[in-house]
Chains A and B, each alone.
Chain A
Amino acid sequence: MKKSFLFISCEEAQHICNKRQYGEATGWERMKLGIRLSWCRITRAYSNRNNKLSEIMQKSDVSCLKDDERSNMQKQFEEELAKHQ
């Protein structure tokens, strides 16, 4: 088995780590990330920070407008704005 099958670069590990936050990393990718995490301090630090960010995003119940909601608001506002200019 080629070494590169299992050993990935730091950038690739970070990419997989990002995908994992959204449940989009495959089992094979998670395994490769796990191996990298076992020996690379930089990847571990990145992963910890990334997980922490996901945790706070979940905890905060943060919300924002959907595209169509923002467009409606923008349209309504622009009509009023035109009257003021």
Chain B
Amino acid sequence: MAKHQINPNNWISEYSDYLFHYTISRVNDREMAQDLVSETFLAGLKSMSNFKGEASERTWLISILKRKIIDYYRKINSNKGKAEVRMTYNNESEVEGDWLEEHVADPFDQTAEDKLENSELGDAIHECLGKLPQKQANVFKMKTILGYDTETICNDLNITPSNLWVIIHRARTALADCMEKNWF
């Protein structure tokens, strides 16, 4: 018997944020990231019969998403007629060695390694958020990630500010525990 079952009814609520974070950290365009995630869910729906249940639904959806992201880059690359990298050295410089300073790496610039680490950190946070009860995760995301103010969240979810802070307290404690095991 297959280890994992497929249930598309829960895909959006369970995986949309994780897939969105995964995508936006790779394509850096909010609208495009949403399109790619939507396309992934639709592609998953069409190829449900191929799901063997050996991997989790999320892993399976991520493998579809990865192909979508690669296709996206292939497409923009062919549209631009292949990427060209040009570097102009300042030939007119009279002072010997000026170009060295001009082209030295900016120590405050994020390196590819930093970006990769931050993206992995984001994956770990989503992993832990996925373990929280739905309501706690929602309130935490709205408050911490989307930066909504207390009043807006209370109105949207029909809860009191005291409720909100209790939920935030529980979510932060559980997240810190989970991140301590997985990241710190």
A residues whose Cβ falls under 8 Å from a Cβ of B: 14-15, 18-19, 21-22, 24, 49-50, 52-53, 56-57, 59-67, 69-70, 73-74, 76-77, 80-81, 84
Measured in the bound complex, the distance between the Cα atoms of B39 and A80 in whole Å is: 11
* 18 A-B pairs whose Cβ atoms sit less than 8 Å apart in the complex: A15-B165, A21-B172, A53-B172, A59-B118, A59-B121, A60-B118, A60-B122, A60-B125, A63-B21, A63-B25, A64-B17, A64-B21, A73-B12, A73-B41, A77-B11, A80-B45, A84-B45, A84-B48
B residues whose Cβ falls under 8 Å from a Cβ of A: 8-9, 11-12, 16-17, 20-21, 24-25, 34, 37-38, 41-42, 45, 48, 118, 121-122, 125-126, 141-146, 150, 156, 165, 168-169, 172, 175-176, 179-180, 183-184
Chain B residues, CB < 8 A from A77: 8, 11-12, 38, 41-42, 45
Chain A residues, CB < 8 A from B8: 77, 81, 84
